[in-house]
Amino acid sequence: MVLQCNPMLKLLGYILVFNSMAYAQTIQPQVGDQSQRLTKNAIYVNPTTGSAMGKGSLDSPYHTITQALRVAQPGTRIILAPGLYSAQTGEQFPLILSNNISIIGKINDNNIIITGSGTLFSYTAGEEIQAVVVVTEGAGKLRGVTIINEDDLSYGLWIESASPQVTNNIFNGRGKGGIFVSGHSEPIITHNYFYNMGNGLVVAGTSTPQVRQNTFNNTNYGVRVLENGAPILTSNRITGNKIGVFLEGSAQAILRQNTIDTSLTFGIVAQDNAVVDLGSRNDPGGNIFYGNGTMDISNLVPHHSIAAFGNQLEKGFSGAVDLAATGEPGNGLNSMAIDIPVPPPETSLPKPPPTPSTVSPGRKTLAELLVLSPRSIPDIRDFSPLLFDSKPIPIDNIGYGNINPQDYLVMVDTFNSQHEEELVAIYPHVMPKMFNGQSMWQVGVFSSLESASLVLQNLNSFGFSGLIIRQEELERYERIIQESQEEATEEL
């Protein structure tokens, strides 16, 4: 049960919760007069042209989401026009989605911004007061919006024992985190971008979210799992965080096909009684670790081994980790570390080779070329990501000269000639490369991970698969390839 704090409504019979100043209300949307409730399943909102006297239709939209929630029937879709939705425009936070009500953004537009913070009381999260922008209590959808925390202690989205679909959103701004999953929730969280906040995703209670194809960047913990939370993390990019994935309490997590890179300290940390499944012989993990500051995996759980078969490690691990699924785990700092090969650099801009008109049936994806052995890579064409307007390359794009070892290169893969034409249309400056007999594309070189991540996120939003690679890693792999070729020549 969750209670919303609202001192303006104490005449309705609220209970005191803290400091004798705040009162709590069960977080149900105000229903208003039954005669004013809409019978259709779609309500339109426009913060610019909408009106409090509107009808909630496309031609006569409401002015605020708050107004739409007051009259929304169960299962209603609240469709938002581009614009800013904030307290200044009349919103009352938190915005509470119950009865399977959905908030839907406009396709091909990332300028639908919800920013603010309201107070709620959650029994499922230790009976504590929380600051939140949006709350979901049902099985509705949150799609195609940007949520910005205004409060240093707030969460962008609070999922309270619910099973919503959270797709194609951006979570940004200061605060404790992007999404908090509480109680017994079973949400599907896909194709979201978490950036520049306390934690990206927090999973607590006995929640079992499915977390697929999201990007977590520049957070404290990309994903934090506590209590008895048990997420399944698949095909996510967890990059540039203090710690990629952190598990505590009796948490459990299954990780498959994720890339966890350039963490300030650790890729994954497990402590207390946490259990991490990184792969078995029957179900290899396929996770890639590289560029993490201290090490890839830190197992602080006593007398328990982390199963980690079929992954690519660079910095190794500490604690009991079973890489070979033999039942006899390695146990020691950086034991069995594995270097990750990455494409070789080209220090000068060559004449672009002809764009291939066909694709070889045996073509590998970029991710497959960057690991020691082929593995199953989800085809990004099977998904429908949120499309953004093309953004210019950040001003610190170095181009193709004077590249330093610590600079970040954005590499992207294409599937066919049409896909390549779409890439060139979005980023005309891309430089074609040949690697292992296969054409690739270098979008740019950047001195900061932040700029490189922004470009990669934009590429991902258009459906392209790519990676961020440090120049020094490229150079190292070039040496590996050269040595391997020399050895092969000597054997002949």
pLDDT at 309 over 50: yes
Give me the DSSP letters along 23-35: EEEE-------GG
Q: Using the 8-state DSSP alphabet, how is residue 205 labeled?
A: T
Strands 2-5, 118-122: pairing kind: antiparallel
Whether 97 and 231 share a structural domain: yes
Using one digit for the tens of pLDDT, what is the confidence trace for 348-406? 333 333 333 333 334 444 444 443 222 232 332 232 322 223 333 333 344 445 678 77
Q: What is the pLDDT of residues 89-135, one digit of tens each?
A: 999 999 999 999 999 997 656 789 999 999 987 777 666 778 999 99
pLDDT at 206 over 70: yes
Rg, Å, the chain Cα set:
24
Residue-range definition of the domain harbouring residue 384: 366-479
The proportion of the chain whose per-residue pLDDT surpasses 70, expressed as a percent, equals 68
Stretch 42-51: mean pLDDT, rounded?
95
Number of domains composing the chain = 2
Q: Report the predicted TM-score, pTM, of the whole model to 2 decimal places.
A: 0.64
Q: How confident is the model at residue 250 (pLDDT cuts 50, 70, 90)?
A: very high
Q: Which of 217, 241, 265 is the last residue of a domain?
A: 241
Does the pLDDT at position 332 exceed 60?
no
Q: What is the Cα 249 distance to its own chain's centre?
A: 23
Judgement on whether residues 375 and 235 belong to the same structural domain of the protein: no
Do residues 179 and 46 share a domain?
Answer: yes
Which residues partner with 408 through β-bridges?
446, 470
DSSP strands (E only) in 272-391: 275-277, 288-290, 295-299, 306-307, 317-318, 320-322, 330-331
Residue 318 placed within a domain? no
Mean pLDDT (the chain) is: 75
Q: For residue 145, is it within any domain?
A: yes
CA distance 159 to 186: 9
**Domain co-membership, 170 together with 25:** yes
Pick the last residue of a domain from 241, 259, 284. 241
Is residue 378 one of the residues assigned to a domain?
yes
Please return the burial class of 104, using the count of CB atoms within 10 Å of its CB with bins 0-12, 13-18 and 19+. middle
Predicted confidence at residue 329, as pLDDT, reads 52
- Residue 21 contacts residue 7 (beta carbons within 8 Å): yes
Q: Which of 241, 258, 275 is the last residue of a domain?
A: 241
CATH number of the domain bearing residue 448: 3.30.70.1070
* Residue 356 covered by a domain: no
Indicate the length of the chain as a whole number.
492
Residue scoring higher pLDDT (469 or 339): 469
Q: Which neighbouring-strand residues pair with 143?
A: 104, 167
69 pLDDT higher than 60: yes
Beta-strand pair 317-318/210-212: unpaired
DSSP tag of 393: P
Tell me: do 374 and 236 sit in the same domain.
no
Taking CA atoms, 183 is separated from 124, 376, 388, in Å, by: 5, 34, 33
Residue with tokens 């001192």: 7
Quick: pLDDT tens for 408-464.
Answer: 778 777 767 777 777 777 777 777 765 544 567 888 887 777 777 777 777 777 777
Cα–Cα distance for residue pair 37/461, rounded to 1 Å: 36
Cα–Cα distance measured from residue 471 to residue 275, given in angstroms and rounded to the nearest whole number: 35
For residue 70, being part of any structural domain is answered with yes
In a domain, residue 181? The reply is: yes
Q: Comparing 184 with 4, which gets the higher pLDDT?
A: 184
| pLDDT of 194 strictly over 70 | yes
Would you say residue 290 lies in a domain? Answer: no
Query: Which of these ranges, 54-63, 194-203, 220-229, 360-369, has the smallest mean pLDDT?
Result: 360-369
What pLDDT sits at residue 402?
Answer: 65
pLDDT of residue 426: 72
In a domain, 253, yes or no: no
pLDDT band at 468 (very low <50, low <70, confident <90, very high): confident
**pLDDT over threshold 80, residue 471:** no
